[in-house]
Amino acid sequence: MKNAHMKDAVALSDFLSLLQEQIHEGKVQWDELKVVHTLDEYRQQQDLNRGPSFSTIAAFGPNGALIHYKPSLETNRIIDNSSFLIIDSGGQYLDETTDVTSTFHFGLATQRQKEIYTRVLMGAIDLAALVFSDSIADSHVDIIARQNLYQVELDYHHETGHGIGSFLNVHEMNINSKEPHRFRANYFFSDEPSYYLPNEYGIRLETILRVVDVKMTVHSARIAVH
């Protein structure tokens, strides 16, 4: 899992470096579908890659506010420096499955946008850093990722994360499902808090976390880390 995530990060970093450079130069026009095709090609160059783990999502400006958005010829938007761009993508590798989301702004974000992005990021970090008892169900940790948004009366209307397979399903059971599950060591799941302002923009950050055992003096517990 770790090895494939490193390969996947290389493909993504190479692609993002190209995208950022060309958007700042302004000579090449980028749109959502060009992001999808180019990023998919970068991943395919990685060892043991067998294609995307789901249809790559590139969502600019108002399209980013649509939770289940997937670009098409009818909805495709040109990417400029006026709003947020969400890129949510993953790869199938013989040694793993990946799923990662980043949000970018290539111009100047407003103070309000910076605050909301920061609160989404704080939620993602809080969940990644959580130490918890092994009696805790997956649905109980969801609040951790939302608390910083709740403080300013904001929220997002989807689950915070889902289990992920290894060269299997990219979306396994949700961690905020009605049927709670106990965490076990080496359970891998996504940490993806977000915020959506209808008709304006979306912000979503996603990493895959791994549950690991920690020894505590009082009783055994588990900690989730990258």
For Mn ion, the closer CB: 32 or 99: 99
190 binding Mn ion? (CB under 5 A):
yes
**Contacting range for Mn ion; rule: CB under 5 A; set: 7-15, 47-55, 123-131, 182-190:** 182-190
160 binding Mn ion? (CB under 5 A):
no
Shortest Å distance, C-beta 222 to Mn ion: 21
For Mn ion, the closer CB: 22 or 102: 102
For Mn ion, the closer CB: 35 or 86: 86
Residues 91-150 that bind Mn ion (CB under 5 A): 99
- Of 175, 158, 155, the residue nearest 69 (C-alpha): 158
| Total residues found in the chain within this entry | 226
Cβ-Cβ contacts under 8 Å for 61 (sequence gap 6 or more): 77, 82, 83, 84, 200, 201
Q: Give the burial string for 93-130 (b: 16+ CB within 10 Å, else e).
A: beebbbbbbebbbbeebeeebeebbebbebbbbbbbeb
Query: Which residues sit opposite 96 in a β-bridge?
Result: 93
**Contacting range for Mn ion; rule: CB under 5 A; set: 3-11, 38-46, 177-185, 190-198:** 190-198
- Chain residues in the site for Mn ion (CB under 5 A): 99, 190
